[in-house]
Structure 1
Amino acid sequence: MRFIKPYISPALFFLLIFQIHGGASAAGSPPGEALVAETTMLMFVGEDLDVLSIASRREERVDKAPAVARVILGETLRENGSDTLGKALQWVPGFYMAQKEWGSRPYLRGIPDSVLFLYDSVPVESSLSNALPPMDNELSLASVKRIEIIQGPGSVLWGADAFAGIVNVVPMTGKDLDGSEIGVTVGSTGEENGAYLNLGHDAGDWDAFFSMSYREVNGDGTRECITDFWNDGLRPTLPENRWGNAPDTSRYFEASTSISLEDLFVVSARFSDYVNPYVLSDTERGVSWYESRDTSSGFIKVDGVRELDQLTSLRFSGSFSRIAPGYEVVDKRMEQEERTLYGEFVLDRSFFKAAGLFTAGVSLKKMRIDNAVVWDGYLPDYLKPDNTFLLPIVRYADTDGDLRSIFGQYRHKIRDVDFWLGVRSDAHSSYKDQVSFNTGVTWTPSPVWVYKIIYGNAYRTPYARQFVEVEDSPDLENITSLNLQALWKPLKEFEAGVCLFSNKIQDHGMEDPYAGASEPSSQRIEGVTLETVFSLFANLKIGANLTLMQHSGPDELYRYNDYSYMGEDGEIIKHYIDLYYPYDVGPENLFNLTATWTPVKDVSLAAGIRYAGSRDLIYPRTENIVTVPGMWLGDLTAVMGNFPVPGVNLEIAVRNLFNEAYETPGTYSTITGEPFSVRVMLSKRW
């Protein structure tokens, strides 16, 4: 329990104050008053009685879920101007959205690229690198009913890559919108324009929903960089002919639909297509070059449920998904494809007059990956003007495999104690078999207090390079996590919570875009989250949360092939050097302060200030490390209903309200952070 030591004093003080006031308040609280359990720990998180489905694979209240969980409602997203997943999660404790040249890279509790992102319970990121989550304009929130969040491992019920947490985007259905809605967006930065259309119909015994959105972001067209290099594939383009102006228009299209027959049968689908050009720079080598990411993806899913008797139900879910990421590095085009077929059966059975619930399931997943990209050589070195002869080698790898899983979880409630134990066994044809577990206890000693202890583990799939270069089945990166949580809600107008967490990562590996994969290592991240939300008046709500972390563990070791030569027998011999980089924990301190004010009916103002601590930029292949200081940023959103005419809603969202000029770590150099911007949206619902 050494991870508690740095935080034991503030945590005990926090709990002591709660207990003193909570004991006095509990006596006057109505019996059975609902607990919210982190539901509204932020001003931007939803109201009482929110439900989520990803903690037990069935809908349940957040405070009863066997996880550190929370829900953000769709109306709350609009209230605070969150039009992308990254903007919504940046206010959630423990989350940090790192700005990169291509978009946002998510960190959760000091672990990058560690969250399993789902849309309607289907993964929407690629297993090729675990680095393509739809954090920005790739996923519109205009048709989202709620966002479900779990902090902590979730491999027992969700398998691979539910590593440090799970985020599930739940779309609207015909029961949520019986009519139509349109919206038009105009932004000041990058000449952003967009529109969306939602259509829904509720016929009672069946309902249907359809949504479509489009966004376009135009730059200034002056990004001069290397745009020609690969030439004829034998020798690079001459240095004097490499430079040009990079394309700078990003386009995003998305469509989704669902059809439901009562509570028995649901068919849903989603399609997305986007292209996003950007420029990378390596200031150490004095080069800048053009890259572009484009991805076409989609899925179709069928869900069904049948009640076998009053105590037993059988659920089925099957899906087919395809994701085709494309990369253009300078003038070299690389196309990849991933296809996944998934099916599962889940049986729920109640015992002991509904005090016990047993959930058991079996699943089969078949996956095929074509043309996974593996780089040999470090691209910025090749782009230097003194290189006129050599091109980096790019290899492609194909892989497929079957994943057979069996899992089970039992929950039992005895008075005010609810405990659970879950186990999953995964047998994969391409990597080593894995066993995941999750156990914990929820104790509700009074209507105003909830305590949770949760302990479990998870794993994630290997990188493409590991499949190619490791002869035997690679050891998969795994995490063991402990969470201790206390939640207190003495009054309807006030609630607070504290959560201590410890994450131990084994066989940890990272992948530099061009330097390769790191050698396995062990890392530990420990921390505490404090949060509260309270109402000063009936129309003013204030929230705050603080996350403090500390990291311990060795530096990342990359074995870099700096040159190769031919031996006496004609065999190519590779020479390697060891490169050591510090583990990238991101900012160790995160703070959010938010407020929402509703002065009159149909008008709301939401303001937020957030702080992220210092971050390091490690210059690849050098010993230089640049520390970027912490930053304070502010946002403001105004929403006016029935304005300027009845039925029309106006939303004005301002980012970087105080126009702070700051630098943030990019990929190979610091980049300029997001500037002051204004986004205006008009919408109408019939």
Structure 2
Amino acid sequence: MRLSIADDSLGNSFYGKGSYQKYSTIAAGHPTPENISPGVTSVITSEDIDHIGARRVTDVLEYLPGVHVSTGRNGFNVIGFRGLHSEGNQQVLVMINGTPIRNSQFGGKTYLWDMPVKNISHIEVIRGAGSMLYGADATSGVINIITKTGGDLKGGDVGGFFGSHDTYEGWAEYGNKQGDWEYSFAFQGGSTNGNKGRVEQDAQTLIDRQFKTSASNAPGFTNNAREDIDARLDLAYKGQYRLRAGYQRFNDVGTGVGSVFALDKLGTNQVDLYTMDITAKNGFTDYLTANSKYYFYGEALNTDTYALPPGTFGGALPLGVRNKVNGFVGSTGVSTQLNYTGFDKHILTSGTGLNYSWTIPAYNKINAIVTPSLVQQIPLTDASAFGRDPLLVSNERYNYYALAQDQWNFATDWYLTAGFRYDYYSDVSDGFSPRLSLVWNVSPFLTTKLLYSRAFRAPAFFELAQPLTPGSTLKPETINTVEFQVENKWTSDLKTSANAYWFEFENFISSANSNSITPVGFVNNEKINGIGVETEANYQVTDSINVALNYSYHGISNNNNTGLLPEHMAKGLINWELAKDWMIGTQLNWIGERRRGTNDPRSNLSDYFVLGLTLSTKIAKPLEITLRANNLLNMNAKEPTANPALLPGDIPVTDRSILGQIKWSF
């Protein structure tokens, strides 16, 4: 049996009787039924997003099994998968339409990144490693955000949010198809003062105790204000050639609990993010297709923050410890992927690509000298005046890769996927990422998967510039993962899934600054072993009531990062169409207790439960009105810090909020 990848019947013919689910591309590299894909995946649709009443991508990701969105310093949001936590999110690869949103200076996603949801078609997620297809950073999770095309929209809509924390936001989007052409454009923008969580003690409190002063802004409130702009263009010809361009600005972004855990009322951050990709899909024969891509990513950073407030160090620094940074991080590349179905019961995939990353520093200015022997206020001066500054070093990196994969239907309802990827780097060690997947459709409704994968992360430029031991070189991070998944569709209304995994993480890179307000270098850590279980159930109780529940457990070997993400999580989404054009959504989110790290004497951080409610109506068509209440019970939700000295009371993250939305479709 020979198959055409361009044929919509591919799923029914190649994937057989167990192909009862929706399709995703993220795990196999081509459209594959979700239950048979060679990975543990989730697909979030625009309808799912509407039912939650979400404003941002992170609002949606929080309800996935095994995923938790927490908060770090300087306004960072941290998307954690399977208990693995790093403040810069270096172990999670985020993409928009397949283009990595990767900051090669610090690693991980773009600084301060989040994204409004109104122009999102769907989100595809891999829980676990994905380096075989996507290369570096795809070690614990992969997120690909697919924006709407003209064919998705077939019209337009405008609307706005308003509510608690002085939150105001508007959007407009329009798209359509005319002959061979397809087009869409979207604009979203807004501002918020954000949640103001109370902090009793901070890093400056510690200094005040030594000098018997009161310069600290604590007791006080976190600064989570921000303004966002998101603009997107999508233009396609014959569905074969497509141009996408995007621009995001994160403006006047507050520093949260501060850049070094000292409350900062004055500091702000700004990021301008530019993305563009051109793709071409060519079907050379019935059995051979090629997907080619050129992409560009650019991030302009401008920060002006106060690590410590005016009057710190007993008044020796009346202007505080100020830091202004400006620079540009860029990445561009080309790639080609071939899919071939000319061999009986095989889908062969091969690909190659080139990526070039670079940084262009502008300045890193400071107004204070703080050393063990000297504390002195100075005019704003470029840090290079005092010696080599890792932030002011221009960097560049070339990455070439090649991959090959075979998906083989070797027996009725048995699928074996084997693949590998080789990455060459101009400045660090090469990466090799194999994977193996065995899927068995036991029955038309029961599927099992046995998966193995290896993934890696190359050190970021800033990490390479500051090894803990001068003259040494950081090793790339690697992770080996084995997991087993069982999915069963008990009835047409009830589906369940459960997976268990084990991983071994080697050379985890972290900053060796456990009790310092400034980094003192980066180091590879000892092996981290992890085990876990993730379960899901989706039940269509009646024609008008749907219940989706999940529970996950993640156990990590004891180290100083232990406890930053919860071991136990339980989540639920309940949607009830109580009458025609009326919908009530309930969001349930229980985050379990966090145990402290090896060197942390504090008692464990208590669990918390967040209840959300969404009410929407379409009775006044084409108007749609939505009201959402988050943390309805006003629970005292906190995220942990790894440093017991600088911020002993942890990070408050959310209070009760109410948000209204009006949408007009045309």
TM-score bucket of the superposed structures, by smaller chain? 0.7 to 0.9
Cα distance 1:198–1:582, how it changes in 2: closer, same or farther (>3 A)?
Answer: closer
The count of aligned residue pairs is 596
Contact 1:108 1:164 in 2 (8 A): yes
Counterpart residue type for residue 528 of structure 1: V
**1:672: which partner in 2?**
652
The structure 1 residue matched to 2:547, chosen from 524, 535, 542, is 542
- 1:79 is matched with 51
Question: Take 2:503 and 2:518, find their aligned partners in 1: how far apart are those partners?
Answer: 28
Paired position in structure 2 for 1:607: 586
Q: Which of 446, 454, 459 is matched with 1:457 structurally?
A: 454
Out of 129, 134, 137, the position equivalent to 2:106 is 129
Structure 1 position 155, deviation (Å): 0.9
- Pick the aligned partner of 2:84 from 111, 134, 141: 111
Contact 1:124 1:134 in 2 (8 A): no
Using a 3 Å threshold, how does the CA distance of structure 1 residues 162 and 207 change in structure 2: closer, same or farther? Answer: same
Distance in 2 of aligned mates of 1:508 and 1:395: 21
For 1:361, the equivalent position in structure 2 comes to: 351
Residue 632 of structure 1 and its aligned partner are, at CA, apart by: 1.1
Query: Structure 1 residue aligned with 2:609, among 632, 637, 643?
Result: 632
Q: Deviations over 1:553-609 (max 9, x none)?
A: 5x3xxxxxxxxxxxxxxxxxxxxxxxxx35455110011133111122221111122
The 2-side partners of 1:626 and 1:131 are apart by: 30
Q: Is the 8 A contact 1:254 1:271 kept in 2?
A: yes
The residue identity in structure 1 corresponding to 2:403 is F
C-alpha displacement at 1:502, in angstroms?
0.9
**Structure 1 residue 280 corresponds to structure 2 residue 257:** yes
Task: Please say if residues 84 and 135 of structure 1, whose CA atoms lie closer than 8 Å, have aligned partners that are also in contact.
Answer: no
Structure 1 residues 90, 375: closer, same or farther in 2, change over 3 A? farther
Corresponding position: 1:417 with 2:417: no
| Deviation of the 1:679 alpha carbon | 0.8
Cα shift at 1:292 = 2.9
Say which SS state the counterpart of residue 534 (structure 1) adopts.
strand
The structure with the greater share of residues assigned to strand is: 1
Alignment of structure 1 residues 225-264 onto 2, 5 Å: 249-264=225-240
Q: CA deviation at 1:519?
A: 3.6
User: What do residues 448-489 of structure 1 show as CA deviations (whole Å, max 9, x unaligned)?
Assistant: 100011101111121334321454653100111111000000
Change (3 A) 1:521 1:465: farther
Q: How does 1:567-582 map to 2 (within 5 A)?
A: 581-582=560-561
- Output the CA distance in 2 between the equivalents of 1:676 and 1:221: 11
Mapped contact 1:225–1:289 kept (Cα < 8 A):
no
The 1:496–1:135 alpha-carbon spacing in structure 2 relative to 1, beyond 3 Å, is farther
Q: What amino acid is aligned across from residue 325 of structure 1 in structure 2?
A: L
1:96 aligns to 2:68 (yes or no): yes
Runs of 5+ consecutive residues of structure 2 not aligned to the other structure = 1-14, 205-212, 307-321
1:685 partnered with 2:665: yes
SS at match of 2:103: coil
Q: C-alpha separation between the residues in 2 aligned to 1:154 and 1:539?
A: 37
Distance of 2:195 and 2:92 partners within structure 1: 34
CA deviation string 1:264-303 (max 9, x = no partner): 11111111111211253699x9876754332111111010
Of 514, 532, 535, the match for 2:537:
532
State whether structure 2 residue 26 is matched by structure 1 residue 54: yes
**Aligned amino acid, residue 178 of structure 2:** A
TM-aligned CA distance change 1:440 to 1:585, over 3 Å: farther
**TM-aligned CA distance change 1:119 to 1:279, over 3 Å:** closer
Q: CA deviation at 1:66?
A: 1.3
Could you tell me which of 321, 327, 333 is aligned with 1:342?
333
Deviation at 1:616, TM superposition (A): 5.0
- The residue correspondences of 1:489-504 to structure 2 (distance < 5 A) are 489-504=489-504
Q: Does residue 1:327 correspond to 2:303, yes or no?
A: yes
The one-letter code sitting in structure 2 at the alignment partner of 1:638 is: L
Determine the C-alpha separation between the residues in 1 that align with 2:112 and 2:462: 25
Look up the match of 1:232.
Answer: none
Between the aligned partners of 2:531 and 2:362, the Cα distance in structure 1 is 34
Give the stretch that moved more between structures: 115-124 or 584-593: 584-593
* C-alpha distance 539-477 of structure 1, shift in aligned 2 (>3 A): same
SS of the residue aligned with 1:627?
A: coil
Q: Which segment drifts farther, 122-131 or 497-506?
A: 122-131
Q: Which residue identity does 2:333 align to in structure 1? A: Y
Is the 1:616–1:665 contact (alpha carbons within 8 Å) kept by the matching residues of 2? no
The residue aligned with 1:476 is 476
Shift of 1:206: 1.7
Q: Encode CA deviations 1:402-453: one digit per residue, 9 max, x unaligned.
A: 1111111111102110011111111110101111111111100210100011
State the distance in 1 between where 2:507 and 2:241 align. Answer: 41
SS of 1:615's equivalent in the other structure is coil
Consecutive unaligned residues in structure 1, runs of 5 or more: 1-30, 37-48, 230-238, 556-580
The answer (yes or no) to whether the contact 1:374–1:465 under 8 Å persists in 2 is no
Give the match for residue 216 of structure 1: 191
The alignment's C-alpha RMSD in Å is 3.4
Matches within 5 A, 1:136-285: 138-188=114-164, 190-218=165-193, 249-275=225-251, 276-280=253-257
Query: Closer, same or farther in 2 for the Cα pair 1:343/1:427, shift >3 Å?
Result: same
Instruction: Rate the CA distance shift 1:654–1:602 in 2: closer, same or farther, 3 A.
Output: same
Query: What's the secondary structure of 2:254's corresponding residue?
Result: strand
Structure 1 Cα separation of the partners of residues 292 and 547 of structure 2 = 42
1:408 is aligned, of 401, 404, 407, to 404
SS, match of residue 278 in structure 1: coil
Q: 1:654 is aligned with what amino acid?
A: A
What is the Cα deviation at residue 86 of structure 1? 1.1
Q: Is contact 2:195-2:654 (8 Å) kept? A: no
CA contact (8 A) 1:225 1:243 kept: no
- 3-state DSSP of counterpart to 1:64: coil
Counterpart CA distance in 2 for 1:124 and 1:286 is 29
| Whole-angstrom distance in 2 between the partners of 1:601 and 1:472 | 66
Moved more, 469-478 or 357-366: 469-478
Distance 1:617 1:273, change over 3 A: farther
Distance 2:124 2:564 in 1: 24
Structure 1 CA distance for aligned equivalents of residues 224 and 448 of structure 2: 50
Deviations 1:593-636 (A, max 9, x none): 331111222211111221111225679xx854352111111111
CA change 1:395–1:625 in 2 (3 A) is farther
* Separation in 2, partners of 1:423, 1:132: 24
Q: Distance in 1 between matches of 2:615 and 2:160?
A: 16
1:198 partner amino acid: E
Could you tell me whether the CA contact under 8 Å between 2:390 and 2:465 is conserved in 1? no
* 2:309 aligned residue: none
Instruction: Say which of 441, 444, 447 aligns to 1:447.
Output: 444
How far apart in 2 are the matches of 1:382 and 1:162? Answer: 38
Contact kept, 8 Å, 2:163 with 2:659, in 1: the verdict is: yes
Which range moved further: 469-478 or 250-259? 469-478
Q: Note closer, same or farther for the CA distance 1:300–1:191 as it changes in structure 2 (3 Å cut).
A: same
- Match of 1:8? none
User: Which letter does structure 2 place at the counterpart of 1:675?
Assistant: D
Residues 214 and 281 of structure 1: is their aligned pair in 2 closer, same or farther, counting only changes over 3 Å?
closer
Preserved contact between residue 149 and residue 234 of structure 2 (Cα < 8 Å): yes
Look up the SS of the partner of 1:403 in the other structure: strand
CA distance in 2 between partners of 1:242 and 1:628 (Å): 24
Query: Percent same amino acid among aligned pairs?
Result: 16
**Structure 1 residues 35 and 532: CA distance shift in structure 2, 3 A:** farther
- Choose 513-522 or 590-599, whichever is displaced more: 513-522
